[in-house]
Structure 1
Amino acid sequence: MWKRNKVWLIKPPAEHPLEAKYRPLLESLVPPDPMSKLKLKRGSPREEFPSLDGNYTCMARVLDLHMYTRQFNRATESGVIFDDIIRPGLEDPGTRTGPMTVGCLAGDAQSYILFCDFFDRVIEAYHSYKVSCDVMQESDFNYDNLKGGDAFDPAYTESCEVSVARCVEDYCFPTHCSRGERRQLLTLAKKVLDEFSEEFPGKLYSIDDLNQETKDKGIIMDGPPASLIKTGVGRDWPDARALWVSDDGTLAVWVNMEDHLRLVSSRNDANIQEAFATICIGLLKMEALYKKLRHPFIWKPHLGWVVSSPAEVGTGLKASVTIKLVHLVTHKRLDNILDRLRLCIEKACLHGMYKICNRQTIGLTEVELTQLVVDGVNLLIRMEKRLENNEGFDDLVPAQK
C-alpha cells in the first residue's frame, strides 16, 4: 500500500525570479522563423486547404480558410507546421453520432503558443472553457479533499480508474519527436523510475519484454493501437516504449505512448478515493524526481499542465467509474443530463456496464474534476433506481452547467 503523506494545494512550479520576470516577454517576441529555412513544395493556402466535408472533429468546427491562411507560414523551432497539427483530425474525422474528438495534436509545447488562436478555440469548443492569459490554472492533489469516492452502491458499480498525463520540458511530443528524443526520454524515465522504485517497489518492462507475468494481469501489447498509427504516434513501434508496474498492482506508468508519461491507477472495485490518492502520491514524487534531473513537466500558467492533446491540457486527468445502467441508457434525456454534469459515457466490455468519466480537464483542479465524477455517478445511480421502480426523476436533473 502506498505511503500516505499530507498533500496540499499545489501552486504553479517555482521559477527563478529572472525567469519569471522575462518569460512573458520572451514568449511574446517573434522567434527566428524556421519556415524560411524549410523548402516545402506547397501551393497557396487556398490550394492546400484540406477538405473538411464529413469531418466531425472540433478542429473542423473552428478551422476555416482565413484561420488556415494565418497559420500557414508558421513553424515552431523544432519544425512543427500547422498541417502537422491538424493531420490527426484528417486521418480520423470522427462520425456524426460518435463522441466529439479534438481532431488535432500539438507537436511540441511551442505549438500552443505559436498556433494559440487555433488551439484556444479548440479548447473552448471541446471543454466549454474560455482560455485567458488573466486566468491561471490551479492544481489540488490533496486527496483528502475528495468526498464520497469510497461510498458507491456496490450493487451498481464495478471498477474505477484514474489516469494523468505529463510531458517533459525540452522534448517534442510523440507525434513529432525523433527516435533519438524518444530514446532519451526512456533513459530519463529509467533513472526516475529506478529511484521511484526505492520507495514504491515496481518493475519496468519494455514492450518486447512484457512476459507471461504481465499477460496474466491482462497487459498485452502485441502492436500499437490503431489510434496511435493514425496519429503518427505509433512510428518505430515498439522502439523506446515501456511500462512500469508497481509490485502491488495499484499503479502503472506508460512511457512514450500518447504522451511522454501516463500514470494509471486501476481498481477492481469502485473505490476511486484510493485510486485518486495513489495517483496524487505517485505523481508528486515523480514530478520531484524529474525536477531534480532538470527536466520538469511542462507548465503554462493559462493552460496548466501541457500535453500533446488539447483534450487533456490543464490537469491531464481522467477519472472514471464503471457502473451498471439498464434503464437510463435508453432514456431520451441522458445526453442532456451528461452534458449538464460535464461527464461522458462509454460502453464497457460487460453487458449493461458503462464507463462514466470527466470530459473537461481544464478550468478545475484535480480534486474538483474527480468530485464531478463521484457526484455524477451517485446521481446517475439514483436516477437508475427511480426508473427501476417506474418513478420519474425530474427533481434530480441538475441545472444547466
Structure 2
Amino acid sequence: MRGWMVQAWFLVALAASLAGYATYLAGLRRNLVEPNRASWLIWSAATAVEAFTYAAVNPDGPQRWIFLFAMVACAAITIALWRRSAWSLPTRTEAFCIGASLSALAIWAMFRDAFWAHMLVVAAVPVSFWPTWASVAADRNRERSPAWGLWTVGDLATLLVATRTPGSPVGEYAYILVELVCHASVWFLVGLATINPLRSIGYRNGRFFVLDALRTPANLFKVGESHLGKAVFAAQPFIEGDRLIEFTGRRFRAARVPSLTRGQSDRFVQVTPEHYMGPSGRIDDLVNHSCAPNAGLRFTDSGVYLVAIRNIAAGEEVTWDYSTTLAESNWHMICQCRSPDCRRVIGNFATLTPERQEWFRSRNLVAPYLRRKDSLSRDRAA
C-alpha cells in the first residue's frame, strides 16, 4: 500500500513540475512574465548540483528524476533568457549564491562529500530567491504565473514521496522543504488565485485560450530583432493617442550617470536638468530611436508614458525621438534609423528645427523642463 502511495505522489510531483515549467515557458514566450535573470542563472547551476548530489546521496530515490527534470527545465529557461536580453554583472548577493553553488561542486569533486555539497546548496536556495523576491515586491505582475502554484504543489508531493521512502534521513530532503517554502512565498506574493484554472485556461469567444486572464500590457508588443539589434514591435494595431508603455526606471542624479555609455548600456532618459531615469530591465529599455517616430514620451503626474503619435499597424516597430528629453549639449549619437528624415546625428532638443520643436511641444511630447521656449534659450546660453 505504501509503495502505491509513493508512486502516486511521485506522478503528482512530476506532473505538477512539468506543468509548471511548461506554463512558465509559455508565459515567457508571450511576455507574460519578466523573470529575474540572476535568479534563473543561479537556479540553473543549483539544480544541476542538487540533481547530481541528491542522486549520489540517495541513488534509489524516485524523486531524483524530478530533480533531473528540473535541472533540464531550468537550463532551458536560462538559455531562453540569455538569448532574448542583455546580461549584466551579478550583485554581491547574487555573486555569493553563485559562489556557494560552485563551492558545492568543488566540495563534491575534491572530497567526494555529496552530503555537505547537498547541504550547501540547500543553504544557498533562499539567497537565490532574493532577486526574484525583490522583483516581485516592486511589481508582482512580473511573475504573475500559475507556474508558482504548480511548483508549490509539486514540491509538496515530492516532500511526501521523500518522507514515505524507507531509509530517507531528514537531511536528504531538506532541499525539498526549503524549495517548497520559497516557491510558496512567491505564489503568495503574486496572488494565490493565479493557479485558478478558470483564470488560466478556457474557451471564450470561439477560441481556446491559455493564460489570457494574466495578460499584461507587455503582451501588446513583441520583442524582436531589427538592424539595430533588439527592438519592440506592436502585436496589435494602435490608434493615435493610445498609451503604449510606461517608463519605470530608477532616477539618478546626472553626476552618477556613466559618461561613456554606448549601445545597450545607454538606457538613460533625461527627466529634469539634474536627473536621469535609468534602465528598468523591462520592455521600455528596448524601444529604439527614430527621426520619424510613431510614438513619443509624455510626462504626467502619474508617470512617464510612451504614447502613439499616429496610427501604428500590427508588426510595426515602435520608436520615439530621443532628442525630445535631452538638454545635455555634450551628448550625441550616430543615427542609423534609416528613415527618409534621418538627421544622421542625434543631439539634444535644441538641435531640432524650431518647427519640429514646436510640433512636439504642441502635443505635450517633451520633458517638462523643455516645454517652455525660454528654458531652451537658457540652456543654449549656458
Pairwise TM-score range, normalised by the shorter structure: under 0.3
TM-score, length basis structure 1: 0.23
Structure number with the bigger relative contact order (C-alpha 8 A, sep ≥ 6) is 1
- The structure with the larger Rg is 2
Please identify which structure carries the higher helix content.
Answer: 2
